[in-house]
Structure 1
Amino acid sequence: MSKTMWRADLNPTLRPVVSDVVRQHVEQAAFLWAQRDTLMMAELPDLKAVAGVDKRLEANLDALRIAGSAGWPFILAAYEDFPQKGELFLFTWFAIEQADRKRIAEAVELGRQSENGRGVVGALIWHKPQTIGPLVRDWIGAQDAFQRFLGASACMGHKVDPKQMLARLVCDPDTRVRAVALRLAGTLRRTDLVAEIAACLDDIDEPPRLWACWALAELGSGDLATAGLRKVAVAGGPEAMIALRAAIKAAPDKDVRAWLVELLKSPETAPLAVRGSGMLGDRGLLHWLIRQMRVPALAAPAGAAFLELFTEAREDGRLFSIESSLLGQAFADHFDGDPPFLPVADNVKDWAKERNLLD
């Protein structure tokens, strides 16, 4: 059987499509965007790695642009076989690329049924603002909460100010919409909305409360937000690092350091304090961080703090390991012989000495 498939019903130009090649581009594009999304969710994303993924992803998307509407059967089959975020991204991206209103509506419904709609939001962010502008303008004031969420998320992804609409979104009845709108207000430095944002500190749902605190910290009203941010950070939930970073930004340096010292006194909160030290921007803490790397319970946050202060260290493959023989017996015992990827304190010390960082 020929590998060439003609799809005259989907492609009026009768462009020949090599099925195996198009299928491979579909699979690669979905995989690469999912990989990119996962990388970007890291507390400290490796932007160099992300840039490499982006180049490969765009190459595969270009191939699908060339295939045109004949790519649809492969995209639909991929989503049917594996309805995950990468496949949803590709479905949505292609629907927008093709300006196919019917497929765009289907993508919205698929996003609504997914856990968080990340694939749909990712596709909106990948396209240029002028391409998605008509969709966003329709959605952002829609009666449907999920469409408003998509519209607000697109604005957030492209850092576009919806002007007077943002005040309405900050007070939206939908939790997800409020959370995104509050984050957008802080990102855009909308100081005219401080009163509306402050009112959200008493929101019945935690995500809007967190993002209200975060936005106030961004807007220079950290005195209103510090207590809430510290509470979320210490609670240790999925947004703890966001809250920790904002809490450190919200208060004077002297107060922040005093708070971190208090956290260090408890085994439960000491890892948070060690991680927070890297957010201070003080490279003079390196010697202290190396000491924390020798403590199994504190090594991971010490390593993350180190990489934040010395981003160039990512390039040296000697500095982190999963090998107990390199980390030491205390790590083997603490992690039952299976330690995670952790800094090797001696190697980090040698690296720092080579660069005269431990004077």
Structure 2
Amino acid sequence: MSAPRALFIHDILVEHVEELEFLWAQRCARLNSSVHTLRDVAELNERIEAHVQGLLLARSMLPELLAPELLEPRRSNAFAAAFPLLRLREPRAAAQVTAAFAEAGGAALAGLRDALATAPVDLTVIALREQFASGTAPRAIAAAAALAAHKAMDPLAPRLQALLDDADAGVRAQAWAVVARVDPPGRVPPRPWESALRGDDPGVRAAALEAAAWTGQPWLLQVCRRLALAAPAAQREAVRLFAVLAGPQARDEILHLAAQPALGADGPGLLGAYGHPAVVELLIAAMVVPDPRLAAAAGAAFTKLTGVDVRGERRARCTDHDPDDAFAAEFADEVTLPDGGRARAVWARDAERLRGGTRWCRGFDLSAGCDADTLRRLDLESRWEACRRAAVAGRPLAPPPPL
């Protein structure tokens, strides 16, 4: 009788691990979602915890089951192997994870970083500090990210400053993400902002701009404005952040940027992020253009501003691909087209109310800022945008999202 029962338990444990893999991938995908809210992520966290608790019922079996999976080349797989081991709160299991961290690279390293950032750090903090001090650059910055999640990272550490100038653009971008999470708001450690923002790598530029926003750099709005107006197609990160941060006095500049053909479907998104009622009629007009992707983006931006879903019944295949590429044509994205008539009816009903404010998001008036209750009800993309604005204004609302 014992052998069949052991096999049954093993299969159940594997199911828990597979669900952890799936749920962690979902969580990572939702952290910057324009649809999901913080409550949705909290529900995912509860489901993740339920599967971890299921695994912890078989404590003695976990090292043998999970240790071979620690270097799996998928981020969510490595996380699902490491996190339950760390939750055992046993030195030997923690040592298995930190030993794998010292060998890992790529997606496996990211998954182990996630686990180390999420699980209790008391048994791993020494190993993480050792990797930060003397590990390879990718492992050092992954260790820094895990330490930052536990508020155990010194923002003035010389190694962090060195990683901001690393030869690997991926390392530099991650280092800026750590800066966003450790530098005190309003204070200005000597960071190489200019070289990052003048550099050729868009990932590094985006991460440096994010860091500047979260740390409340007073020069950020003017830098975003200058970069956006000089080269909107090449500076999409600055264009978007300019729309997020700019006030009503920048309306004409935002409208000018959104009309740039080079921005394509990013143009309506820019207007949605700006949130001024003056953009609504432009969005309604864009809902009926021949380009399906542009029309769908206009509908999404209208919803972001008003909070009203205007998706219609029709779907269309996007046409922004090489017309001679049969493969691309067959597998082109499909989008749901907005219902322009419904959008016009909503605008006719709500125009007077919306014109009473200068920034709207999901139907909430954010003209004077965002309170905690409203912040909780926003989609996550809009939540982080509101938090960046507040940080730059010197009134931080919440910390940045997890890496």
Secondary structure in 2 aligned to 1:219? coil
Which structure has more relative contact order (CA 8 Å, sep 6+)? It is 2
CA–CA separation in structure 1 for the residues paired with 2:334 and 2:144 = 41
Secondary structure in 1 aligned to 2:189? helix
CA–CA separation in structure 1 for the residues paired with 2:286 and 2:277 = 15
Q: Name the residue aligned to 1:274.
A: 268
Aligned ranges 1:196-345 → 2 under 5 Å:
196-203=192-199, 205-217=201-213, 218-222=216-220, 223-228=222-227, 234-235=233-234, 240=236, 242-249=237-244, 253-255=248-250, 257-283=251-277, 285-295=279-289, 296-310=292-306, 312-313=307-308, 319-320=310-311, 323-324=313-314, 331=316, 339-345=334-340
Matched-pair contact (CA < 8 Å) for 1:225–1:250: no
- Is 1:144 aligned to residue 142 of structure 2? no
Secondary structure in 1 aligned to 2:134? coil
Task: Provide Cα deviations, 1:125-178, integer angstroms capped at 9, x if missing partner.
Answer: 322455653343222222421221112222454566523114444344553333
Q: Name the residue aligned to 1:86.
A: 76
- Is 1:3 aligned to residue 4 of structure 2? yes
Q: CA deviation at 1:33?
A: 0.7
Q: Relative to structure 1, is the Cα distance of residues 352 and 27 closer, same or farther in structure 2, using a 3 angstrom cutoff?
A: farther
Q: CA deviation at 1:122?
A: 2.1
Q: CA deviation at 1:179?
A: 2.0
Matched-pair contact (CA < 8 Å) for 1:88–1:120: yes
Q: Name the residue aligned to 1:9.
A: none
Matched-pair contact (CA < 8 Å) for 1:214–1:229: no
Q: Relative to structure 1, is the Cα distance of residues 266 and 197 closer, same or farther in structure 2, using a 3 angstrom cutoff?
A: closer
> Quick one: which amino acid aligns to residue 75 of structure 1?
L
| Unaligned segments of structure 2, at least 5 residues | 321-328, 353-403
CA–CA separation in structure 2 for the residues paired with 1:258 and 1:48 = 36
Q: Name the residue aligned to 2:30.
A: 39
CA–CA separation in structure 1 for the residues paired with 2:56 and 2:229 = 47
- Is 1:58 aligned to residue 49 of structure 2? yes
Q: CA deviation at 1:309?
A: 2.4
CA–CA separation in structure 1 for the residues paired with 2:123 and 2:350 = 48
CA–CA separation in structure 1 for the residues paired with 2:206 and 2:333 = 35
Q: TM-score, normalized by length of structure 1?
A: 0.74
- The CA RMSD over aligned residues, in Å, is 3.7
Matched-pair contact (CA < 8 Å) for 2:258–2:268: yes
CA–CA separation in structure 1 for the residues paired with 2:96 and 2:28 = 23
Q: Name the residue aligned to 1:11.
A: none
Task: Provide Cα deviations, 1:40-82, integer angstroms capped at 9, x if missing partner.
Answer: 25466543433322221111011112221412444357679x7
Q: Relative to structure 1, is the Cα distance of residues 161 and 179 closer, same or farther in structure 2, using a 3 angstrom cutoff?
A: same
Q: CA deviation at 1:352?
A: 5.8
CA–CA separation in structure 1 for the residues paired with 2:198 and 2:124 = 34
Size of the alignment, in residue pairs?
A: 329
> Quick one: which amino acid aligns to residue 344 of structure 1?
D
Q: Name the residue aligned to 1:170.
A: 164
CA–CA separation in structure 2 for the residues paired with 1:77 and 1:344 = 52
Matched-pair contact (CA < 8 Å) for 2:225–2:239: no
CA–CA separation in structure 2 for the residues paired with 1:352 and 1:131 = 57
CA–CA separation in structure 2 for the residues paired with 1:308 and 1:160 = 36
| Unaligned segments of structure 1, at least 5 residues | 7-16
Percentage of matched positions with identical amino acids: 22
Matched-pair contact (CA < 8 Å) for 1:221–1:250: no
Which has the larger share of helix? 1
Secondary structure in 1 aligned to 2:262? coil
- Is 1:27 aligned to residue 18 of structure 2? yes
Matched-pair contact (CA < 8 Å) for 1:292–1:298: yes
- Of the three residues 66, 77, 86, the one matched with 1:75 is 66
- Is 1:126 aligned to residue 118 of structure 2? yes
Q: Relative to structure 1, is the Cα distance of residues 260 and 192 closer, same or farther in structure 2, using a 3 angstrom cutoff?
A: closer
Q: CA deviation at 1:263?
A: 3.1
> Quick one: which amino acid aligns to residue 234 of structure 2?
A
Which deviates more, 289-298 or 337-346? 337-346
CA–CA separation in structure 2 for the residues paired with 1:332 and 1:97 = 46
> Quick one: which amino acid aligns to residue 169 of structure 2?
T
> Quick one: which amino acid aligns to residue 268 of structure 1?
A
